[in-house]
Amino acid sequence: MPFKTPVRTALQEHPTSWGFWLTVANSTVARTLLASSKTAPDGGFSWVLVDAEHGLIADNHYYDLNQAVSSMNASPIIRIPWGEEWMIKRALDSGAHGILVPMCHTPEDAAKIVKYCKYPPTGTRGYGPLYSTHAFSELSAAEYDAGADKELVIGVQIESQSGVDNVEAIAKVDGLDMLLIGPFDLALQMGVTRFGPDHEAAIERIRKAAKDAGKIAAIFCTTGEQAKMRADQGFDMVSVITDVGLLGEAMARELNNAKGKGASGEKRAGY
Protein backbone atom coordinates (compact mmCIF):
# COMPACT_ATOMS: atom_id res chain seq x y z
CA MET A 1 0.00 0.00 0.00
CA PRO A 2 1.17 3.62 -0.45
CA PHE A 3 3.20 5.24 2.33
CA LYS A 4 0.77 7.89 3.63
CA THR A 5 0.60 9.73 6.92
CA PRO A 6 -2.36 11.67 8.36
CA VAL A 7 -0.39 14.90 8.57
CA ARG A 8 0.74 14.72 4.93
CA THR A 9 -2.83 13.91 3.86
CA ALA A 10 -4.24 16.83 5.87
CA LEU A 11 -1.72 19.23 4.35
CA GLN A 12 -2.82 18.15 0.88
CA GLU A 13 -6.55 18.33 1.59
CA HIS A 14 -6.95 21.33 3.91
CA PRO A 15 -5.42 24.81 4.20
CA THR A 16 -4.42 24.10 7.81
CA SER A 17 -3.32 20.93 9.56
CA TRP A 18 -4.23 21.14 13.25
CA GLY A 19 -2.27 19.55 16.08
CA PHE A 20 -1.67 19.74 19.81
CA TRP A 21 1.21 19.33 22.26
CA LEU A 22 1.41 16.14 24.35
CA THR A 23 3.64 16.51 27.41
CA VAL A 24 2.49 13.59 29.57
CA ALA A 25 3.63 10.04 28.87
CA ASN A 26 0.13 8.63 28.86
CA SER A 27 -1.40 6.92 25.84
CA THR A 28 -4.91 7.07 27.34
CA VAL A 29 -4.72 10.87 27.54
CA ALA A 30 -3.52 11.01 23.92
CA ARG A 31 -6.36 8.79 22.70
CA THR A 32 -8.98 10.65 24.73
CA LEU A 33 -7.95 14.06 23.40
CA LEU A 34 -7.90 12.79 19.83
CA ALA A 35 -11.28 11.07 20.21
CA SER A 36 -12.82 14.32 21.45
CA SER A 37 -12.03 16.04 18.15
CA LYS A 38 -13.45 13.40 15.81
CA THR A 39 -16.68 15.32 15.23
CA ALA A 40 -14.97 18.64 14.53
CA PRO A 41 -15.87 20.30 11.19
CA ASP A 42 -13.49 19.22 8.41
CA GLY A 43 -12.01 16.56 10.66
CA GLY A 44 -10.07 16.67 13.90
CA PHE A 45 -6.40 16.79 14.77
CA SER A 46 -4.07 15.31 12.17
CA TRP A 47 -0.91 15.39 14.27
CA VAL A 48 0.32 15.34 17.84
CA LEU A 49 3.62 16.77 18.99
CA VAL A 50 5.10 14.28 21.45
CA ASP A 51 7.27 16.56 23.56
CA ALA A 52 10.44 14.86 24.78
CA GLU A 53 12.25 18.18 25.15
CA HIS A 54 10.21 19.91 27.86
CA GLY A 55 7.51 17.29 28.51
CA LEU A 56 7.78 14.37 30.94
CA ILE A 57 8.44 11.97 28.06
CA ALA A 58 11.52 9.82 27.47
CA ASP A 59 12.43 7.55 24.59
CA ASN A 60 11.10 4.46 26.40
CA HIS A 61 7.65 6.08 26.07
CA TYR A 62 7.90 6.68 22.33
CA TYR A 63 6.61 3.33 21.11
CA ASP A 64 3.37 3.30 23.14
CA LEU A 65 2.63 6.97 22.37
CA ASN A 66 3.25 6.45 18.66
CA GLN A 67 0.87 3.51 18.71
CA ALA A 68 -1.80 5.47 20.56
CA VAL A 69 -1.65 8.53 18.31
CA SER A 70 -1.43 6.65 15.01
CA SER A 71 -4.33 4.36 16.01
CA MET A 72 -6.55 7.49 16.11
CA ASN A 73 -5.61 8.51 12.54
CA ALA A 74 -3.15 11.21 13.58
CA SER A 75 0.60 11.49 13.07
CA PRO A 76 2.94 11.35 16.06
CA ILE A 77 5.75 13.88 15.62
CA ILE A 78 8.42 13.60 18.29
CA ARG A 79 10.28 16.66 19.51
CA ILE A 80 13.59 15.27 20.65
CA PRO A 81 15.66 17.08 23.30
CA TRP A 82 18.49 18.04 20.93
CA GLY A 83 19.73 17.43 17.39
CA GLU A 84 21.81 14.35 18.20
CA GLU A 85 21.96 11.52 15.67
CA TRP A 86 21.17 8.79 18.20
CA MET A 87 18.13 10.71 19.48
CA ILE A 88 16.75 11.07 15.97
CA LYS A 89 17.32 7.39 15.27
CA ARG A 90 15.52 6.32 18.45
CA ALA A 91 12.50 8.49 17.60
CA LEU A 92 12.18 7.28 14.01
CA ASP A 93 12.80 3.63 14.84
CA SER A 94 9.98 3.74 17.39
CA GLY A 95 7.50 4.66 14.65
CA ALA A 96 7.36 8.45 14.66
CA HIS A 97 5.81 9.96 11.53
CA GLY A 98 8.18 12.89 11.88
CA ILE A 99 10.68 14.58 14.15
CA LEU A 100 11.12 18.14 15.38
CA VAL A 101 14.51 19.40 16.49
CA PRO A 102 14.77 22.49 18.73
CA MET A 103 17.16 25.42 18.41
CA CYS A 104 18.18 25.30 14.76
CA HIS A 105 20.45 28.30 14.25
CA THR A 106 22.13 27.81 10.87
CA PRO A 107 21.68 26.00 7.55
CA GLU A 108 24.54 23.75 8.63
CA ASP A 109 22.48 22.70 11.67
CA ALA A 110 19.52 21.93 9.42
CA ALA A 111 21.59 19.98 6.89
CA LYS A 112 23.03 17.84 9.66
CA ILE A 113 19.55 17.03 10.97
CA VAL A 114 18.35 16.04 7.50
CA LYS A 115 21.39 13.79 7.08
CA TYR A 116 20.65 12.01 10.35
CA CYS A 117 17.02 11.36 9.31
CA LYS A 118 17.64 9.77 5.92
CA TYR A 119 19.08 6.40 4.97
CA PRO A 120 22.27 6.10 2.88
CA PRO A 121 23.25 7.22 0.35
CA THR A 122 21.31 10.43 1.07
CA GLY A 123 22.02 10.42 4.79
CA THR A 124 23.48 8.37 7.63
CA ARG A 125 20.45 6.95 9.45
CA GLY A 126 21.37 3.52 10.77
CA TYR A 127 19.14 0.70 9.56
CA GLY A 128 17.01 -0.99 12.18
CA PRO A 129 13.30 -0.08 11.88
CA LEU A 130 12.22 -3.13 13.89
CA TYR A 131 9.13 -1.41 15.25
CA SER A 132 8.61 1.53 12.89
CA THR A 133 5.88 -0.07 10.79
CA HIS A 134 3.71 -0.76 13.85
CA ALA A 135 2.63 2.90 13.76
CA PHE A 136 1.71 2.73 10.05
CA SER A 137 -1.47 0.81 9.30
CA GLU A 138 -0.84 -2.13 6.96
CA LEU A 139 2.50 -0.78 5.78
CA SER A 140 5.03 -3.50 5.03
CA ALA A 141 8.70 -3.32 5.99
CA ALA A 142 9.68 -3.01 2.34
CA GLU A 143 7.20 -0.17 1.81
CA TYR A 144 8.54 1.64 4.88
CA ASP A 145 12.11 1.29 3.62
CA ALA A 146 11.15 2.65 0.21
CA GLY A 147 9.11 5.61 1.45
CA ALA A 148 10.67 6.74 4.73
CA ASP A 149 13.12 9.24 3.27
CA LYS A 150 10.37 10.99 1.31
CA GLU A 151 7.33 10.78 3.58
CA LEU A 152 8.59 11.26 7.15
CA VAL A 153 8.37 14.90 8.21
CA ILE A 154 11.67 16.52 9.16
CA GLY A 155 11.18 19.73 11.10
CA VAL A 156 13.32 22.27 12.93
CA GLN A 157 12.43 25.02 15.36
CA ILE A 158 13.41 28.59 14.65
CA GLU A 159 13.54 30.21 18.06
CA SER A 160 16.67 32.38 18.29
CA GLN A 161 18.05 35.57 16.81
CA SER A 162 20.62 33.60 14.81
CA GLY A 163 17.86 31.34 13.54
CA VAL A 164 15.92 34.37 12.32
CA ASP A 165 19.03 35.91 10.79
CA ASN A 166 19.69 32.70 8.83
CA VAL A 167 16.10 31.61 8.22
CA GLU A 168 16.07 32.09 4.45
CA ALA A 169 19.15 29.87 4.08
CA ILE A 170 17.77 27.33 6.56
CA ALA A 171 14.49 27.10 4.64
CA LYS A 172 16.35 26.29 1.43
CA VAL A 173 18.11 23.22 2.87
CA ASP A 174 17.25 20.24 0.68
CA GLY A 175 15.28 17.55 2.46
CA LEU A 176 14.01 19.80 5.24
CA ASP A 177 10.21 19.79 5.31
CA MET A 178 9.04 22.11 8.05
CA LEU A 179 10.03 25.18 10.03
CA LEU A 180 8.20 25.59 13.33
CA ILE A 181 8.24 28.76 15.40
CA GLY A 182 8.63 28.46 19.16
CA PRO A 183 7.26 31.88 20.20
CA PHE A 184 8.31 31.69 23.86
CA ASP A 185 11.99 30.97 23.27
CA LEU A 186 12.05 33.23 20.23
CA ALA A 187 11.01 36.24 22.33
CA LEU A 188 13.40 35.35 25.15
CA GLN A 189 16.35 34.74 22.84
CA MET A 190 15.72 37.97 20.92
CA GLY A 191 15.18 39.97 24.10
CA VAL A 192 11.85 41.34 22.89
CA THR A 193 8.28 41.39 24.17
CA ARG A 194 6.31 38.32 23.19
CA PHE A 195 3.79 39.26 20.47
CA GLY A 196 5.13 42.81 20.34
CA PRO A 197 6.07 44.43 16.99
CA ASP A 198 9.63 43.05 16.82
CA HIS A 199 8.45 39.57 17.75
CA GLU A 200 5.65 39.59 15.20
CA ALA A 201 8.03 40.84 12.50
CA ALA A 202 10.33 37.88 13.21
CA ILE A 203 7.40 35.46 13.12
CA GLU A 204 6.31 36.80 9.75
CA ARG A 205 9.86 36.62 8.38
CA ILE A 206 10.07 32.95 9.36
CA ARG A 207 6.65 32.15 7.89
CA LYS A 208 7.52 33.89 4.63
CA ALA A 209 10.92 32.19 4.35
CA ALA A 210 9.30 28.78 4.76
CA LYS A 211 6.59 29.46 2.21
CA ASP A 212 8.97 31.03 -0.31
CA ALA A 213 11.11 27.89 -0.14
CA GLY A 214 8.11 25.59 -0.58
CA LYS A 215 8.35 24.32 2.99
CA ILE A 216 5.74 23.85 5.71
CA ALA A 217 5.29 26.88 7.98
CA ALA A 218 4.29 25.77 11.48
CA ILE A 219 3.75 27.47 14.82
CA PHE A 220 3.06 26.66 18.46
CA CYS A 221 -0.05 28.27 19.99
CA THR A 222 -1.67 28.07 23.41
CA THR A 223 -5.32 28.89 22.63
CA GLY A 224 -7.81 28.29 19.88
CA GLU A 225 -8.18 32.02 19.28
CA GLN A 226 -4.44 32.39 18.81
CA ALA A 227 -4.37 29.34 16.55
CA LYS A 228 -7.09 30.78 14.32
CA MET A 229 -5.15 34.02 13.97
CA ARG A 230 -2.03 32.11 12.87
CA ALA A 231 -3.99 29.97 10.43
CA ASP A 232 -5.50 33.13 8.93
CA GLN A 233 -1.96 34.47 8.51
CA GLY A 234 -1.13 31.47 6.33
CA PHE A 235 0.55 28.95 8.63
CA ASP A 236 0.20 25.37 7.37
CA MET A 237 0.58 23.45 10.64
CA VAL A 238 -0.82 25.01 13.80
CA SER A 239 -0.68 23.58 17.30
CA VAL A 240 -3.84 24.65 19.11
CA ILE A 241 -3.09 23.96 22.78
CA THR A 242 -1.13 21.76 25.18
CA ASP A 243 -2.53 18.89 27.20
CA VAL A 244 -1.58 20.49 30.52
CA GLY A 245 -2.92 23.87 29.44
CA LEU A 246 -6.26 22.34 28.49
CA LEU A 247 -6.60 20.26 31.66
CA GLY A 248 -5.56 23.04 34.02
CA GLU A 249 -7.77 25.64 32.36
CA ALA A 250 -10.81 23.36 32.23
CA MET A 251 -10.48 22.31 35.87
CA ALA A 252 -10.09 25.89 37.08
CA ARG A 253 -13.07 27.01 34.98
CA GLU A 254 -15.40 24.29 36.22
CA LEU A 255 -14.36 24.81 39.84
CA ASN A 256 -15.20 28.50 39.47
CA ASN A 257 -18.51 27.55 37.88
CA ALA A 258 -19.26 25.19 40.78
CA LYS A 259 -18.58 28.01 43.23
CA GLY A 260 -20.84 30.33 41.26
CA LYS A 261 -17.96 32.63 40.39
CA GLY A 262 -17.87 32.10 36.63
CA ALA A 263 -14.76 32.66 34.54
CA SER A 264 -11.89 34.45 36.24
CA GLY A 265 -11.09 36.52 33.16
CA GLU A 266 -7.39 35.75 33.51
CA LYS A 267 -5.65 34.44 30.40
CA ARG A 268 -3.09 31.66 30.66
CA ALA A 269 0.38 33.13 30.19
CA GLY A 270 2.35 29.91 29.67
CA TYR A 271 1.93 26.47 28.16
Q: Which of 14, 54, 134, 199 is labelled catalytic?
A: 54
Annotate the chain with three-state secondary structure: CCCCCHHHHHHHHCCCEEEEEECECCHHHHHHHHHHCCCCCCCCCCEEEEECCCCECCHHHHHHHHHHHHHCCCEEEEECCCCCHHHHHHHHHCCCCEEEECCCCCHHHHHHHHHHHCCCCCCCCCCCCCCHHHHCCCCCHHHHHHHHHHHCEEEEEECCHHHHHCHHHHHCCCCCCEEEECHHHHHHHHCCCCCCHHHHHHHHHHHHHHHHCCCEEEEECCCHHHHHHHHHHCCCEEEEEEHHHHHHHHHHHHHHHHCCCCCCCCCCCCC
CB 215 within 8 A of CB 179: yes
C-beta of residue 172 within 8 angstroms of C-beta of residue 178: no
Residue 103, C-beta contacts closer than 8 angstroms, at least 6 positions apart: 82, 83, 157, 159, 160, 163, 185
Residue 121: asked if its preceding bond is cis (omega within 30°), the reply is yes
Q: Is 105 a catalytic residue?
A: no
Start-to-end CA span in the chain (Å)? 39
Residues identified as active-site: 54
